[in-house]
Amino acid sequence: MPLTDLRSQMLGFLATAQGASSDFDLNPDLTHPTSKTRPAGVLVLIRETTGAQEVLLTKRSAKLRHHPGQIAFPGGKQDPEDADVIETALREAREEVGLPDGVVDVLGTLPTHITVTSFDVTPVVALLKEPFEVVCEAGEVDEAFWVPLDHLLDADKYAVQSRRWSGTWRSYYTVPFGPYYIWGATARMLRTLAEAAQ
């Protein structure tokens, strides 16, 4: 698919994406944060390569205090110096995977997702305009990898699973790919995109 067609397609998905989500949607018995949430931005980076489209994901460092070893988008909490969450997502991608300035076309944002850790996360969707060498920041990212967009847009690839968390059962979305177990907030934000694609 030509990049111009991909851009048009993704803009259509963004226009039809429905409503905010949260980690509490599947877990009504969990306590929803009543304190102020903290804004965060993550980058849903899509590239066109050899006739296919792919999305960049990372495996968080096993040394991190929060969510070690989990699959995530490049991104993080908004700093006071960031103009908005779009700048946050781009800055974090620069820090985590070496994304250069000026190589992406930001298309817009998906609905926000509130995490159980009280982050109000905005997924920022962008197309990669030119290739770059992914360089993982060793303190934050163990690995970066690309997942076919078609896989992530297929609603049938998603499932709801459960595990014990803080003494209770917690349900969450998953969208596994090869050896990568994509789950939780990342899978839920991707599912929003898949739902818009139906």
Q: Which helix (H) or strand (E) holds 188?
A: helix 184-197
Residue 165 — very low, low, confident or very high, per pLDDT cuts 50/70/90?
confident
Is the confidence at residue 2, as pLDDT, over 80? no
What is the pLDDT of the chain when averaged over all its residues? 92
Distance CA 63, CA 29 (A): 31
Q: Is residue 28 part of a domain?
A: yes
Judged by average pLDDT, the poorest of 2-6, 107-111, 113-117 is: 2-6
Mean pLDDT of 67-86: 92
Q: Is residue 179 part of a domain?
A: no
Per-residue b/e over 159-170, b at no fewer than 16 CB within 10 Å? eeeeeeeeeeeb
Residue 8 — very low, low, confident or very high, per pLDDT cuts 50/70/90?
very high
Nearest to 48 by CA among 124, 144, 129, 123: 129
CATH of residue 121: 3.90.79.10
Q: Is residue 95 part of a domain?
A: yes
Q: Is residue 69 part of a domain?
A: yes
Q: What is the pLDDT of residue 138?
A: 87
Q: Is residue 70 part of a domain?
A: yes
Distance CA 156, CA 116 (A): 25
CA atoms 75, 76, 79, 83: torsion sign: positive
Are 173 and 158 a contacting pair, CB within 8 Å?
yes
Q: Is residue 157 part of a domain?
A: no
β-strands 38-49, 119-128 pairing: parallel
Q: Is residue 183 part of a domain?
A: no
Is the confidence at residue 68, as pLDDT, over 70? no
Q: Is residue 177 part of a domain?
A: no
Q: For residue 24, how far is the Cα from the chain centroid?
A: 17
Are 85 and 41 a contacting pair, CB within 8 Å?
yes
- Give the relative orientation of helices 3-16 and 184-197 as an angle to the nearest 10 degrees: 100
Are 175 and 157 a contacting pair, CB within 8 Å?
yes
Q: What is the pLDDT of residue 91?
A: 98
User: Quick one: CA torsion of 172, 78, 53, 69, rounded to 10 degrees?
Assistant: -50
Per the structure, the complete domain to which residue 100 belongs is given by 3-149
Q: What is the pLDDT of residue 3?
A: 62
Tell me the whole-structure pTM to 2 decimals. 0.94
Domain count across the chain: 1
Are 99 and 136 a contacting pair, CB within 8 Å?
no
Q: What is the pLDDT of residue 1?
A: 60
